[in-house]
Structure 1
Amino acid sequence: MILNHNLIMKEFLINISKELKSLSLSLNKTSILINKPWTLVDDENEIQKLIFKKNKDLVLSKNGVVQMGRWDYFPEAKSILIDRKYDTILCNEVFIDNGILILKIDGTNDTYFTLSNENYIPDLNPVRYLKELKSKKLNIKEFLLKDNNVLEVHLSKNQNKPSVGDKVVIQGVKTVDGLFKILESDKYLEIRRNTFSHIFVGKKYNDINSQEFQIIQRSDNDFQLRDYVFKNDRISKDDEIILSQTKKIILHNGIIVRVKWKLFNLWWI
Structure 2
Amino acid sequence: MAGHSHAANVKHRKNAVDAKRAKIFSKAARNIISAVRQAGSEMDTNLKLKYAVEKARAANMPKDNILRAIKRGEGSKDGDDFEELVYEGYAPGGVAMLITCLTDNRNRTAPDIKFALEKGGGNMGSTGSVSFMFDFRSIFVVDMTGEQGEEGFAGKAFTEDSLLEVGMEAGAEDVQVEGDVATVFAAATEFLSVKTALEEAGVVMLSAETGYVPQTTVEVPTKEDAAKILKLIDKLEDNEDVQNVYSNYDIKDEWLEELNS
TM-score of the alignment, normalized to the shorter chain, above 0.5 = no
Q: Which has the higher contact order (CA 8 A, sep 6+)?
A: 2
Q: Comparing both structures, which one devotes a greater share of its residues to strand?
A: 1
Q: Comparing both structures, which one devotes a greater share of its residues to helix?
A: 2
Q: TM-score scaled by structure 1?
A: 0.22
